[in-house]
Structure 1
């Protein structure tokens, strides 16, 4: 199982290297057929090998054949963002810490007032009310993905 995961990971990384913009769109089912595996194997590789901590942003769409968009963001080019993603946010972040980061982005003109308000709503407790696991873990994942989109 892990050998196949390594092969799939290497294949996706090669696709990303071959593009000049670090963005690929692939269909999960086609990739699963190519590797003769279940689509859940593709999901496993994407979840474990292409996380926001590693500088990847994943967008997934269902229906119409569905596709996965993978974006490689160079978090190493900006030491502040790298530190923010890996150390300050980490695996979990409280609402107040997340809001503090968002406030600093607004003050530095990295985001607009509208983006600031949207981010606060998305990361707020009210939005995460129906989450069945730790809200702070989900909040951290959302915030890291937002940062990667901002860097894109």
Structure 2
């Protein structure tokens, strides 16, 4: 298992009981035998709002990082997602949203597969590059609205 997966797994274990955990970056790095920047990398890449997490960082007083699994009712989640998409979204961010919705049980396998196909870069190869992310955002928002009714 690579170090990033090990760090993410440890944080997920800490989150499993209450959905919230506070970690001291230096302590976790020491425990895993890595540098604190590796902890930062995992948190910034795997524990993002797109993946369904809220991260708060505190400095001073020993400092800690608080990670919370975000919980929303369906209408709040829908509104949050549509607002966070804005006017443009790239394939990677779109995929993260879709996977998160699927993992939370808010999208069926088929719905997720259709959304992934409709928002993949391959679907836009005839669209001018500067318009792809805008078109993808519009399509994704409409798919979200219709799938979450």
Aligned 1:21-32 pairs, distance under 5 A: 22-32=19-29
Aligned-pair CA distance for 1:67 = 0.5
Q: Which is worse superposed, 7-16 or 82-91?
A: 82-91
TM-score, normalised to structure 2's length? Answer: 0.52
**Which of structure 1's runs of 4+ aligned residues deviate more than 4 A?**
none
Task: Note the residue ranges of structure 2 that are not aligned, 5 or more in a row.
Answer: 89-149
Q: Kindly indicate whether residue 42 of structure 2 is the aligned counterpart of residue 45 of structure 1.
A: yes
Once the two structures are superposed, residues 32-58 of structure 1 have per-residue CA deviations (whole angstroms, 9 ceiling, x without a partner) of: 101111111111111111101222111
RMSD: 2.1
Q: Does structure 2 conserve the Cα–Cα contact (< 8 Å) formed by 1:57 and 1:71?
A: yes
Task: Note the residue ranges of structure 1 that are not aligned, 5 or more in a row.
Answer: 94-152
The correspondence for 1:61, drawn from 49, 58, 62, is 58
* Map of 2:7 onto structure 1: 8
Q: How many residues align?
A: 88
Aligned-pair CA distance for 1:89 = 1.8
Q: Kindly indicate whether residue 86 of structure 2 is the aligned counterpart of residue 85 of structure 1.
A: no
Aligned-pair CA distance for 1:70 = 0.9
Aligned-pair CA distance for 1:23 = 1.4
Aligned-pair CA distance for 1:12 = 0.6
Aligned-pair CA distance for 1:92 = 6.4
TM-score, normalised to structure 1's length? Answer: 0.51
* Map of 1:140 onto structure 2: none
